[in-house]
Structure 1
Amino acid sequence: MMAAAGVNVVRMAEFAWDRMEPRPGAFDFSIFDETIDVLGAAGIETILCTPTAAPPRWMTSANPDWFRENASGVRMTHGSRQHVCTNHPEFRAASERITRAMAEHYRDNPRVIGWQTDNEFFCHISECFCPACGRDFQRWLREKYGNIQALNEAWGAAFWAQTYGDFSEIVPPRQDRPTYPNPGAQLDWFRFLGDAIRDFQGGQVNILRSVQPRWWITHNGTFQHVDYWNLAEDLDFLGVDVYPGFTVQKPEDYWWAAVKNEEARSASGSYIIPEQQAGAGGQWPYLHRTPDPGQMRLWAWQAVAHGADGILHFRWRTCRYGAEMYWNGVLDHDNIPRRRYDEFAREGGEFARLGDSILGTTLSVKVGVLLENDQDEAHQTMPMGLPSPDEQRRVILRELLRRKLEAGYVNAHDSFEGLGIIILPGFVLMDEDLAARLGEFVERGGLLVATARTATRHRNNHVSEFTPPGFLRDVFGATVEEFGKLERGSIDLEMAPGVVAPVGDGYEILSLRGARALGNWQCSRWPAPHAASGLPAVSHHVHGSGSAIYLGTYISADNAAALIGLVLDHANIPPLAVASDGVEITCRHSASHRLYFLLNHSGQPASVSALPVGTDLITGQPCDGDCTLSPFGVALIKA
């Protein structure tokens, strides 16, 4: 059935440690040997996973100190997954032992083409406060700062008498204190978590690469406290697991899955989907809606439309027992093919036929929404009930996709080449290097956009001594003279006489220093920051060959259409086509051609117009610029 459906690769073994090592040092790979051989005979290759997210019971029984410890000091127990601390040196040694045993066993098996490390780092839990983590945190800090005086300065430890005399005095910032932790210490703790999981993965990666260099290696994310740009440095490409059923209630909700795909693409460029939803996901407290006919195929094409170069659905046959026995796959419990299998086979046939036209192309991005893990971590150390960079980033991408623009996430460490607009969603941390790169982008003709609180702190999480936006004040030609939080509806942003955008959460009063005002504050109700009435809220500044817009507020679902519209008035970024809000359009391109992906997330037919002339590769029919999509339909126009 797999071969008939066009399957060319499967993924397995991510939780099978107890089957492969039923007793200490006694390895048995026979069930996988047989399965890989059967699949191989049908022309299907295998991705293996290191099974380190679920160690066997004999191991945890003998080593109770390996269990994770939560913020309240409670040790976890066996019976789930991710319950053992990846920083415990003995567990790391055991993880590397099973990795090496698997690698040596399959080193010459031509059917094994690649590996996934572990499974979904930090999916359920990202923090552990066991003694091993405490020791590793101290070591990490010692390597970063060199001496305790440098740490005390970086953390501002003089406040609340937190000055340390030695690294051994430092403990992780847990919840056993009367009030809130030091934000500098908290940010370093989050950074440590990400570096530590990369180090855990690195032990496995080094073994796999040394045993068989032809293998490629990936991991499946994306979750908090992992810097995936950093993690992906050790991988050939990243993977991301996408389950739209968590959020999709109406056609316009397609943006959530787009976000997951963009998180992976912006971290490693080329990426794959190790787990794409195949049925209704269900665990103890919930059960997703079953995908409508066509949605499973649509979601797979959506991943390809954002740059994915491989799709694996989770799962093949639904498991009949365990915590995920209602995490439904392509086949139901009884192994009988039904409509989801038929849809899966249609998708497989299309990918087999069109893969050569797609591989080698990349997503076209003209409007980049900047992403940097450090910005989200810094916000978590001092959220104050204000929108995070991630919250704004999602709203911004949603609005850009609604307008059918060539838009996507761009990592702050990446090149800005080819972008027309860069949007900084509340990048509180700023350094001279990033500021210089952003300034050069503007000088070369780009449009830079920032929202409230941008460039207000240094990388050590101290508030900057420079008037905001600090290192970027010359680029924006304006400074922030006052900021504050808002009662919703207490203030409006007037962008032109009679044209008002709703504002929520926060405001900033700008002082123009070469820039001109694009919007002013209106304060007609109480309570409101009356010092803001009539003063600049949005500025525009010409800098070199480009310009910069500073938005003295946060972008939200309420004002995204108005504020993004204001930004686009100052840039020449045409839409890819014209269609309703439930239709998603992206473009992948190469030196020789452009591919337009048209995705109808609605259960009703939808029309698309103003397309380039080309051919729909799925149907083989010519496209004269207009196209009608069936419910949950897909078109792929080559122009």
Structure 2
Amino acid sequence: MSRARSHRWLRRPNGDTTPRFAYGADYNPDQWPREVWHEDIRLMREAGVNVVSLAIFSWARIQPTEDTWDFGWLDEIMDLLHEGGIGVDLATATASPPPWLTTAHPEILPVTASGETVWPGARQHWRPTSPVFREHALRLVTTMAERYAGHPALVAWHISNELGCHNIYDYSDDAARAFRDWLRARYGDLDALNSAWGTAFWSQRYSDFEQVLPPRLAASHPNPTQQLDFKRFSSDALKQYLVAEREVLTRITPDVPVTTNFMVMGETKGMNYADWAAEVDFVSNDHYVLPGPQSLDELSFSANLTGNIAGGRPWFLMEHSTSAVNWQPINRAKLRGELARDSLLHVAHGADAVCFFQWRQSAAGAEKYHSAMVPHAGADSAVFRAVSALGATLRDLAPAAGAPRRPARAALLFDWESWWASEQDSHPTSRLRYRQEALDWYSAFLALGVRADIVPRGAALEGYDLVVAPVLHVLPAELAKELTAYVEGGGHLVTTYFSGIVDENDHAWLGGYPGPLRDLLGIRIEEFAPLLDDETVTLDNGATGTLWTDEITLTAPDVEVLATYTSGAQAGRPAITRRPAGPGSAAYVSTRLGAQGLTPVLARLLAAAGIGSELPEEARGHVELAVRGDGDTEFWFLVNRTDEPVRLPGVTGDVLSGPTGGGTADDPLVLHPRGVTVLRRPAGR
């Protein structure tokens, strides 16, 4: 594994260090005639654009055949952008192989679990472990790096694009060979592999590594540890490919920072981005708003998690949409104010670059109905006026650029391996959704107006007064010790159903659930009690539970029962418990309560930890607060989550952007519907 890289941001011409936010989009000039290019540069300057991502899907244009190259158009547009004062985040163009390559080498095409070939015709049709693909891709990367190493427009390298979006799981023979190599490195020998995979079950014991395959289509449930290891391997395989491109770029252009765009959003779970983050100079992310009642909560959740994957340092919002997308069942345009609010919510959580897909809306192709900065209607449009206004807002916010995220007092622990393992087959229920449970807890924090950091497993917890670890299904012994030490040191831990169930090999902890957390929590569970789809239970605090219940036995005299079941098979038994442990405590929630049901529970747990909201009472649940700052100054981002004006009595500071007001009883700040106000304040006031 590569050594973690130091954080390096976009290069600036002439050593300019003036704080500013980067602003722009993916730019695809090769989709348009040259006469449009000069208009593009003019409109970019009008909108405040200062960076574009270029050549992302241009391999077939740059290298029309294996032995020919066409850089004339790219040279020209790079020069035009530089003359216009616009930097280039230059892609390596390896995201989708050209037709000549897949025709000559169909062995680079991915294979599904059922043995079907994934054919060309869309994008990302390549195997992460294909040596043939890697040879041709790295040749392209080398050629581009050598050609543009000294170009003054180059501000960063953009490796591939959305690695793993369509090709995370490949079951080909190349993948099988690479998987075996990965397993040899992880386990050393077959005895260790057989032990970890529990191959005594169903006569699966291996006598030679060559017998091991990816979890292809099988007659019944594939080995669960084999499945989990294949998920680990698949994330690592793509990470190794990322590193291979990065090493070429670093060798040829050591002074140019390197990034790739993650996809921290929704159910995109195949890539362990917390593990990948150390391999890039700065973290980048793509995010698109997902429809539903928790739409804005999910946006905040993803931005928050991205900011903490980045270690609190500034990161790059590489893609989001100005308005409608094209890939949802129904694609609705954004309401007035949402373009700016969505963008600034990412900035609130640490983004120092705000970019869209894409600059000019395509006239042809699969994404022609995806919105852009310049829509089909042209510059004389509400969308272009909104993106120009956002460019002006980002100029106003320049003093906040570079400021790190200010840590909160509460954290929500997010674990990719628990996400992967908890949703595998042959479990007590197939309805469990790890990220939804985590999102529900985050929605409860937002409803209470309490800031919480979403931190990946492995992050230091000592600075947090309260940590919520929902569905912490995979619990290695070392992590159990860390959580116990956290509580004994004064921290307040909250966990939930289906936590502490298996170790890192997906072997069940014996002696009762939740495994190594039993003594800390003071409870013991002998058997799971999941609920049917139409089944609910009631609690004596008025909440309704779904999905899951546990038959809890209290094993310590000091356990406090915070709520009891009043219906269902567990009626009269504890539903929510809390056990003090020195100055700290450990709580357990045994059913899915949803965001609304969790809110009063979380309020009680926060109070016990001494954590309150920094917002005035009337704004809680209506306004999200995120804080950036370094040293004596901090920046409060106040985001109106509603379609109505919201008053903020008593909240004061120098207004960088948004409505003005004195913050007094007679002259309070008022957030516009879907509006954002940013204040500069003394730290800790």
Query: Is this a same-fold pair by TM over 0.5?
Result: yes
Which runs of no fewer than 5 residues in structure 1 stay unpaired? none
Residue 232 (structure 2) aligns with: 191
Structural mapping, 1:157-176, within 5 Å:
157-175=199-217
Structure 2 contact 87–154 (Cα < 8 Å) conserved? yes
Q: 2:589 aligns with which of 551, 567, 576?
A: 551
Q: How many equivalent pairs are there?
A: 624
Secondary structure at the residue paired with 1:547? strand
Match of 1:365 in 2: 408
> Does 1:325 pair with 2:360?
no
Find out whether 1:589 has 2:629 as its counterpart.
yes
What is the SS of the residue equivalent to 2:508? coil
Q: Which residue of 2 aligns with 1:122?
A: 164
**Which one of the candidate residues 186, 190, 200 is aligned to 1:144?**
186
1:33 aligns to 2:79 (yes or no): no
- Would the aligned equivalents of 1:623 and 1:637 in 2 still touch at CA under 8 Å? no
2:399 matched to which residue of 1?
Answer: 356
Does structure 1 conserve the Cα–Cα contact (< 8 Å) formed by 2:168 and 2:238? no
Which of 432, 435, 457 is residue 502 of structure 2 equivalent to?
457
The answer on whether the counterparts of 2:648 and 2:669 sit within 8 Å (CA) in structure 1 is yes
Which deviates the most, 112-121 or 197-206?
112-121
Moved more, 574-583 or 307-316: 574-583
Q: Are the structure 2 counterparts of residues 435 and 623 from structure 1 closer, same or farther at C-alpha, using a change threshold of 3 Å?
A: farther
TM-score by length of structure 2 reads 0.87
Cross-structure match for 1:277: 321
The structural deviation recorded for 1:451 is 0.3
Letter in 2 for 1:554: R
Measure the CA separation in 2 of the matches of 1:276 and 1:168. 44
The range that moved more, 192-201 or 416-425, is 416-425
Worse overlay, 11-20 or 467-476? 467-476
For residue 78 of structure 1, report the CA deviation from its aligned partner.
1.4
Given candidates 189, 200, 215, the residue that maps to 2:256 is 215
State the shift of 1:196 in Å: 0.4
Give the direction of change, closer, same or farther, for the CA distance of 1:187–1:610 in structure 2 (3 Å limit). Answer: farther
* Contact kept in structure 1, 2:562 and 2:578, CA below 8 Å: no
Deviates more, 1:319-328 or 1:505-514: 505-514
AA aligned opposite 2:639: L
Distance 1:388 1:466, change over 3 A: farther
Q: CA deviation at 1:514?
A: 4.2
* Letter in structure 1 aligned against 2:628: R
Partner of 1:617: helix, strand, or coil?
strand
Q: 1:562 to 1:568 in 2, by over 3 A?
A: same
Match of 1:616 among 645, 652, 655: 655
1:426 to 468, 471, 475: 471
Q: Judge conservation of contact 2:403–2:628 (CA < 8 Å) in 1.
A: no
Could you tell me which amino acid in structure 2 is paired with residue 542 of structure 1? P
Report the alpha carbon displacement of residue 470 of structure 1 after superposing the two structures with TM. Answer: 2.5
2:572 matched to 1:534? yes
The residue that corresponds to 1:606 in the other structure is 646
User: Aligned-pair distance for 1:606?
Assistant: 2.6
Q: Partner of 2:142 in structure 1?
A: 100
Partner of 2:600: helix, strand, or coil?
A: helix
Note the alpha carbon deviations across 1:249-279, whole angstroms, 9 max, x for none. x6x6311211221332232233211012112
Residue 65 of structure 1 pairs with residue 101 of structure 2: no
State the distance in 1 between where 2:530 and 2:596 align: 17
Q: What is the CA–CA distance in structure 1 between the aligned matches of 2:632 and 2:219, rounded to whole Å?
A: 62
Q: Which of 597, 600, 614 does residue 562 from structure 1 map onto?
A: 600
1:582 Cα offset (Å): 4.5
SS in structure 1 opposite 2:397? Answer: helix
SS at match of 2:553: strand
Partners in 2 of 1:290 and 1:386 — Cα distance?
31
Aligned AA for 2:326? G
SS where residue 460 of structure 1 aligns?
Answer: coil
State whether structure 2 residue 387 is matched by structure 1 residue 344: yes
Residue 200, structure 1, aligned to residue 241, structure 2? yes
Taking structure 1 as the reference length, the TM-score comes to 0.93
Q: Which amino acid aligns with 2:357?
A: F
Query: 2-side partners of 1:42 and 1:74: how far apart?
Result: 48
**DSSP 3-state at the match of 2:594:** coil
Please list, as runs of the form range in 1=range in 2, the aligned pairs for 1:289-304 lying within 5 A after superposition. Answer: 289-304=332-347
The answer to whether the 8 Å contact 1:279/1:296 transfers is yes
1:533 CA displacement: 3.3
Report the Cα distance in structure 2 between the residues aligned to 1:471 and 1:87, rounded to whole angstroms: 37
Which string of whole-angstrom CA distances, capped at 9 and with x for unpartnered residues, describes residues 543-596 of structure 1? 232111122233424522233233223222111214264432222232212222
Distance 1:401 1:318, change over 3 A: same
Letter matched to residue 646 of structure 2: A
Cα offset, 1:26, TM superposition: 2.3
More displaced stretch, 347-356 vs 49-58: 347-356
Q: For 1:464 and 1:314, how far apart are their aligned partners in 2?
A: 46
SS in 1 for 2:114: coil
CA contact (8 A) 1:10 1:44 kept: yes
Within-5 A mapping of 1:428-507? 428-487=473-532, 489-494=535-540, 499-507=541-549
| Identity across the alignment (%) | 28
Opposite residue 345 of structure 2, the aligned amino acid is Q
Q: Give the whole-Å Cα distance in 2 for the aligned partners of 1:330 and 1:150.
A: 54
Q: State the distance in 2 between where 1:542 and 1:517 align.
A: 8
Greater alpha carbon shift after TM alignment, 401-410 vs 485-494 = 485-494
Gaps of 5+ in 2: 1-42
Deviation of the 1:610 alpha carbon:
4.7
Which residue pairs with 2:287 in the alignment? 242
User: How far apart are residue 72 of structure 1 and its match?
Assistant: 1.8
C-alpha RMSD of matched pairs (Å): 2.0
Q: Which amino acid aligns with 1:247?
A: P
Aligned partners of 1:272 and 1:309 also within 8 Å: yes
User: For residues 430 and 203 of structure 1, what CA distance do their matches in structure 2 show?
Assistant: 32
- Please tell me the residue identity of whatever aligns with 1:226: M
Question: What amino acid does structure 1 have at the position aligned with 2:385?
Answer: D
Taking a change above 3 Å as real, the CA distance of residues 619 and 373 of structure 1, as seen in their structure-2 partners, is closer
Range moving further from structure 2, 405-414 or 330-339 = 330-339
Distance 1:562 1:605 in 2: 25
Tell me, yes or no, if the aligned pair for 2:82 and 2:152 is still in contact at 8 Å.
no
The verdict on how the C-alpha distance between 1:41 and 1:490 changes in structure 2, with shifts beyond 3 A counting, is closer
